[in-house]
Amino acid sequence: MNKIKKPIILIFFVIMLYTLVFFIINLNNKKNHDIQFKRTCIASMKTIKEAAKLYQDENGDITSLTVNNLVTKGYLKNEFKCYNQLNNFMGMPTPSEPLPFKIIINSDQKFGKFSIDIECQRHGKLSSAKNIYKSLE
């Protein structure tokens, strides 16, 4: 009877070890996916900001500028959105709802200048992107 229990316990231990390794690998993959999506989001925000600056240089008035305006006037090819994948409990990627970017115009009353910032509802403002990169490490 004792000879039968030892192989069963050993098989059970090996199965538990493989399960633990599987979950550890999936957690690491999820972190890498999150980092890649944040970097892609920041790159999209930079592209929108440059298009908004070009629009400002050519047209002057940017007080009511939106990403959709940049697309319709030809400054962007398509409307950028922040896509993010969430992982369910088994580590399988499931797409989340894409979120639009928002253009924030800050005006300096003294000098009559405007500064442009882009905001993602999921990852924050482009002006604080350095903080986002620090949080990726």
Give me the number of domains the chain comprises: 1
Core vs surface per residue 13-50: b (16+ CB within 10 A) or e: eeeeeeeeeeeeeeeeeeeebeeebbeebbebbebbbe
Q: What is the pLDDT along the chain (137 residues), one digit of tens a residue?
A: 566 677 778 888 888 888 888 777 666 666 666 777 788 888 899 999 999 999 988 887 777 888 998 999 999 998 888 876 665 555 555 566 788 899 888 876 666 677 889 998 888 888 887 655 555 44
Range of the domain at 41: 2-136
Query: What's the distance, CA 102 to chain centroid?
Result: 14
Rounded Cα distance between 129 and 118, Å, is 10
Q: Residue 99 pairs with which residues in a beta bridge?
A: 82
Token look-up 């030892």 returns 6
